[in-house]
């Protein structure tokens, strides 16, 4: 098939408005429409010069290898753990993603979860709806203002979370692979040390193999029975079995979770617990942010086909 427009392979479904705008500018084929995607790629993979995907679906080595003329990948999302960056780099394939435009909403969601876990807003709402208020008062919760906030991953989103904390007069420390030079927050050289210090431990790190299981049973033990965990990063960063056990046995006070190890599957053991708040990976899920992300997906492609470089590079 020939076309005067660049031929783009869409991996996974995207926002309907984004799909429409992609189709208006490019010759787009949705891989999800194929009953046998592997056979289709074997027969037609050479037609495509671009990939439009998302942080959820990514682009693994098998997909990249099946597209011999691939030049650019544009991903809806900031996470890169589902994209084989080494395979892209080896073939000089440009990779664009959508950083920065979602920082505020993800940071807002981190504090939504932190506040809800500590002050038990969702649990108290259920208390009222069940009619339990007629039979007694709701138990006391935990204050947020003036507490100690530990951040795992002081990157783009982590820095915004730290700024949000200033409005609650919180003391902030962080742990990264190495200290950050341009911030005043104290650096903790170990994650266990950060957890032992913190009242609230917020995960804002990248996902992927390097951070898998980083929040271990030992880290949760250090956080302790008065500490709260909040995760707006990737579910894989936490040892999920250890977290379920810690919540069920009150080894930590509570948690607020927007992400899980095997989404959309959530451990059923969490459903009956009132000390955990569960969200369906919606940290960036506002009309405004998703529109900005969609525009950046388009901008990355447009910039690449004009200049050979994406606007927001992941490499």
Which tokens is 304 given?
């690449």
Catalytic residue among 97, 164, 234, 303: 234
What's the angle, vertex CA 97, arms to CA 92 and CA 101, rounded to 5? 150
Counted residue by residue, the chain has a size of 315
Q: Supply the DSSP symbol for 205.
A: -
CB 230 within 8 A of CB 114: yes
CB 49 within 8 A of CB 72: yes
Catalytic residue among 7, 164, 173, 281: 281
Q: How far apart are CA 46 and CA 97, in angstroms?
A: 23
Closest by CA to 232, choosing from 279, 185, 177, 179, is 279
Q: Please indicate whether residue 234 is annotated as part of the active site.
A: yes
Catalytic residue among 34, 210, 263, 288: 263
Q: How far apart are CA 145 and CA 142, in angstroms?
A: 10
The three-state (H, E, C) secondary structure of 29-43, written as one string: EEHHHCCCHHHHHHH
Which tokens is 263 given?
């989404």
Q: Please indicate whether residue 281 is annotated as part of the active site.
A: yes
| Active site (catalytic) residues | 234, 263, 281
């Amino acid at each position: 098939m020939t076309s005067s427009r660049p031929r783009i392979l869409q991996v996974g479904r995207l926002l309907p408005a984004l799909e429409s705008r992609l189709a208006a500018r490019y010759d787009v084929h949705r891989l999800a429409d194929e009953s046998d995607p592997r056979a289709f790629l074997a027969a037609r993979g050479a037609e495509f010069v671009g990939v439009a995907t998302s942080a959820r679906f990514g682009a693994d080595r098998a997909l990249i290898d099946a597209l011999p003329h691939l030049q650019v990948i544009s991903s809806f999302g900031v996470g890169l753990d589902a994209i084989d960056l080494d395979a892209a780099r080896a073939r000089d394939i440009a990779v664009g993603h959508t950083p920065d435009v979602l920082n505020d909403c993800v940071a807002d969601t981190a504090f939504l979860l932190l506040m809800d876990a500590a002050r038990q807003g969702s649990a108290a709402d259920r208390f009222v709806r069940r009619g339990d208020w007629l039979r007694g008062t709701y138990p006391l919760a935990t204050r947020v203002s003036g507490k100690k906030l530990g951040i795992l991953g002081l990157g783009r989103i982590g820095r915004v979370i730290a700024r949000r904390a200033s409005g609650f007069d919180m003391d902030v420390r962080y742990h990264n692979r190495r200290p950050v030079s341009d911030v005043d927050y104290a650096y903790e050289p170990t994650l266990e040390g950060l957890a032992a210090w913190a009242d609230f431990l917020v995960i804002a790190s990248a996902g992927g193999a390097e951070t898998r299981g980083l929040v271990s049973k030992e880290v949760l033990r250090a956080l302790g029975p008065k500490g709260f965990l909040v995760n707006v990063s990737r579910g894989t960063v936490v040892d999920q079995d250890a977290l379920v056990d810690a919540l069920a046995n009150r080894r930590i006070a509570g948690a607020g979770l927007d992400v899980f190890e095997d989404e959309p599957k959530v451990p059923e053991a969490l459903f009956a617990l009132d000390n955990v708040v569960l969200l369906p990976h919606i940290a960036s899920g506002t009309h405004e942010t998703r529109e900005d992300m969609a525009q950046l997906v388009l901008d990355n492609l447009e910039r690449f086909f004009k200049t050979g470089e994406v606007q927001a590079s992941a490499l």
